Amino acid sequence: MSGAVTISRFSIPAGKEREYEEMLRSFGDEVADDMGFESTSVWQDLNKPDEFLRLTSFKDFDSLFKSYDHMVESGFLEGAVLKWGVAPDVRRQIPIWSHHFDFAKVHESEVLSLSVRAMEPGQGDSWIDKMRYNFTEMQILPGMHGCWIGRSDEVDDEISGIATWATEEACRASIPPHIHYPIHVYWRYR
């Protein structure tokens, strides 16, 4: 399992994806040679086509921080924000648990669901237990490929859950009709 993960969310004006293709590709190109970099993938929100998600995995947090330091020192991050006007919301994650989930192979799935919950102080561990139970139950559902749980490295009680799916239909069938927190559904963009 990867030792450090970033979940980056950002917006691109609807219908302008191809104009931003260099931006979507360039981040992966920038970190691809960094020691400890493992993989990156880009996903587009099925309900809000201007919303994107980038998942990036590293061997460990030391590798993650060295990659970001390199991008800051080289001027890449500042230049990218100035050129495209996109500043992603980046959340660093400590991997907690996974089942049949590999960031290097996540692009083999067509659809991904993401839930991020900021729990009351001290409630993160109980939410992890509940999410692990739910994911374990969901593993029998047709079309589920794998699942992963992570915790913010800055906010101990902010928990993220990711599940990968063969199809949008399989993913949507897993989401209860009355849920009290958002579950975002993405399709693989690149």
- Beta-strand (E) ranges in the chain? 4-11, 37-45, 51-58, 89-99, 111-118, 144-152, 158-165, 184-188
What is the predicted pLDDT for the residue at 92? 96
> Could you tell me which residue, 97 or 68, shows the higher pLDDT?
97
Report the C-alpha gap between 26 and 32 in whole angstroms: 10
Q: How far apart are CA 12 and CA 3, in angstroms?
A: 29
Q: Phi and psi (nearest 5°) for 108?
A: -75, -15
Q: Which two tokens stand for residue 114?
A: 């993401």
Pick the most confident of 23-32, 39-48, 158-167: 158-167
The mean per-residue pLDDT over the stretch 29-58 comes to 85
CATH 3.30.70.100 fits 4-188, yes or no: yes
Please check the confidence at residue 133 and state whether its pLDDT lies above 70: yes
**Residue 118 or residue 147, greater confidence:** 147
Flag whether the pTM goes above 0.95.
no
How far is 94 from 3, CA to CA, in rounded Å? Answer: 7
Domain spans in the chain, listed from the N-terminal domain onward = 4-188
| CA 156 vs CA 6, 100, 139, 159: distances in Å | 15, 25, 26, 8
pLDDT at residue 31, as a whole number:
64
Alpha-helical segments (H) within 74-123 = 76-84
Q: Which amino acid is at 131?
A: M
